[in-house]
Amino acid sequence: MSGSAQPPAGFQPPDWRAREVALLAPWAMHAADSAGRVHPEPAHPFRGPYQRDRDRIVHSAAFRRLAHKTQVFTGYHGDYHRSRLTHTLEVTNIARTLARALALNEDLVETLALAHDIGHPPLGHAGEDVLADLLRDEGGFNHNAQALRIMELLESRYPEFPGLNLSREVLEAQAVRKKDGSAPPPLLETQVVDAADSIAYDTHDADDAIELGLVTLDELLELPLVAEAAARVDERFGSLTAADRRRAVIHELVDFQVAELARTSLATLRSLSLGSAADARAAFGTETPGRRRVVAHAPAVSAAKQELERFLFERVYRSDRVLAVRDPAQQKLAELFRWYIAHPEALPEGYRRRADAFGVPRSVADYLAGMTDRFLETDHTRRLGG
């Protein structure tokens, strides 16, 4: 029967250690060299440590809630534009492509990509701004720091330890994203995920903005990065319908950035003659002047991306239409924060217990940051009447 073939007698899948030796470049982070976990655990019989980390992220409540958290467009309930989860999956796909092209550890890259936004509160960056302001005397709020807090403390799914007990390399990568100078130079796998995140949000935020009527493709075509992508599309396909051309341009934008980043970064890696992941750390900041990372675009592409990002900030993220929807939502989050500060007994039991160690404001923020957009609306109505 088709599809029913069995492996030969005595077949054993290759050990993950041998697989890494066969597939990964010397500059990759080999899981066999991992610094381990904060709370030691027995090795799994057939899954490597970063495979286990990936699975723990996917099975976490924080990851599931990303499906109903805003990426950019608060209050727009259409089915087309990205949620925080679909953005995460797009980042993961791009990051895995780059990891394979550079012979890096795909299991680690996938883990970092899947985890990179789990600390986002409801309403996306708009919600983060509210909590940062409300906690300005309590150490502030940052979604990258919150993700680390989830990993190490809040996501308690195992009886043996708090948090998810992820590998130290995963925790370190998230600490790098905090950008507070507390982490060592990033692994190449960390750099790949940051680059993939930039490619995804630059391109897909533009796509969503067109779909919502905030900008037009013609306006985006005034930017060199987009204009050059459109020229390549027109040369390849000739005349297309407006909808097909738009989709093709978005696809080309992603494809071009990924391919250029892979080519440029691989050339840099080969020029540096790196023999280990430790060498890759040491090379951080030593490549072409003006570029801090080994995994980086050529200067001309970086400049074109920055121009696209400025356009999105001015015309999309700060547009009157987006702000008109965002501001009332931010007000509801602030009102709910103040309500729980006045009624800490209404917090779930785990948050009440942690308030003794971390204070009521931080525990209230932990609870609110875990909410989805729609639960925020529901809880605000329940507590404050709408």
Triad 150, 154, 159: Cα angle to 5°: 120
Of 110-119, 159-168, 173-182, the range with the lowest mean pLDDT is: 173-182
| DSSP notation for 290-341 | T---SS---HHHHHHHHHHHHHHIIIIIT-HHHHHHHHHHHHHHHHHHHHHH
Q: What is the 3-state secondary structure (H, E, C) of 127-192?
A: HHHHHHHHCCCCCCCCHHHHHHHHHHHHCCCCCCCCCCCCEHHHHHHHHHHHCCCCCCCCCHHHHH
Per-residue confidence band for 182, with pLDDT thresholds at 50, 70 and 90: confident
Give CA 93 to chain center in angstroms.
11
- Give strand pairing partners of 167: 37
Q: Which two tokens stand for residue 173?
A: 């990568």
State the pLDDT at residue 79. Answer: 52
Per-residue confidence band for 3, with pLDDT thresholds at 50, 70 and 90: low
Q: Which two tokens stand for residue 233?
A: 């599309």
Name the more confident of 49 and 11.
49
What is the percent of the chain where pLDDT is above 90? 76
Q: Which residues contact 114 (CB under 8 A, 6 or more apart)?
A: 54, 57, 58, 63, 88, 92
Of 80-84, 99-103, 124-128, 148-152, the range with the lowest mean pLDDT is: 80-84
At residue 291, does pLDDT exceed 50?
Answer: no
Triad 341, 347, 352: Cα angle to 5°: 90
Triad 362, 114, 173: Cα angle to 5°: 70
At residue 9, does pLDDT exceed 80?
Answer: no
Per-residue confidence band for 290, with pLDDT thresholds at 50, 70 and 90: very low
CA 258, CA 226: separation in Å to the nearest integer?
15
Query: Helices 299-312 and 188-211 meet at what angle, rounded to 10?
Result: 40
State the pLDDT at residue 212. Answer: 85
The answer to whether 326 touches 75, Cβ cutoff 8 Å, is yes
State the pLDDT at residue 288. Answer: 45
State the pLDDT at residue 1. Answer: 44
Report the chain's terminal Cα–Cα distance, integer Å. Answer: 59
Q: Which residues contact 52 (CB under 8 A, 6 or more apart)?
A: 44
Query: Quick check: helix, strand or coil at residue 349?
Result: helix
Of 40-49, 156-165, 238-247, 279-288, the range with the lowest mean pLDDT is: 279-288
CA 186, CA 194: separation in Å to the nearest integer?
10
CA 163, CA 308: separation in Å to the nearest integer?
38
What integer is the mean pLDDT of 2-11? 64
Of 22-26, 47-51, 209-213, the range with the lowest mean pLDDT is: 209-213
User: What does residue 70 show for φ and ψ, rounded to 5 degrees?
Assistant: -65, 140
State the pLDDT at residue 71. Answer: 65
CA 369, CA 383: separation in Å to the nearest integer?
17
Exposed/middle/buried for 377, CB within 10 Å: 0-12, 13-18, 19+?
middle
Per-residue confidence band for 305, with pLDDT thresholds at 50, 70 and 90: very high
At residue 223, does pLDDT exceed 50?
Answer: yes
Question: Mean pLDDT score of the chain, rounded to an integer?
Answer: 91
For 188-197, how does the pLDDT look when each residue is reduced to its tens digit (9 = 90+)? 999 999 999 9
At residue 167, does pLDDT exceed 60?
Answer: yes
What integer is the mean pLDDT of 77-81? 51
Read off the pTM.
Answer: 0.92
- Give strand pairing partners of 70: 83
Name the more confident of 318 and 151.
151
State the pLDDT at residue 5. Answer: 62
CA 129, CA 284: separation in Å to the nearest integer?
31
State the pLDDT at residue 197. Answer: 96
State the pLDDT at residue 143. Answer: 96
Most confident region among 136-140, 211-215, 382-386 by mean pLDDT? 136-140
Exposed/middle/buried for 105, CB within 10 Å: 0-12, 13-18, 19+?
buried
For 336-376, how does the pLDDT look when each residue is reduced to its tens digit (9 = 90+)? 999 999 999 999 999 999 999 999 999 999 999 999 999 99
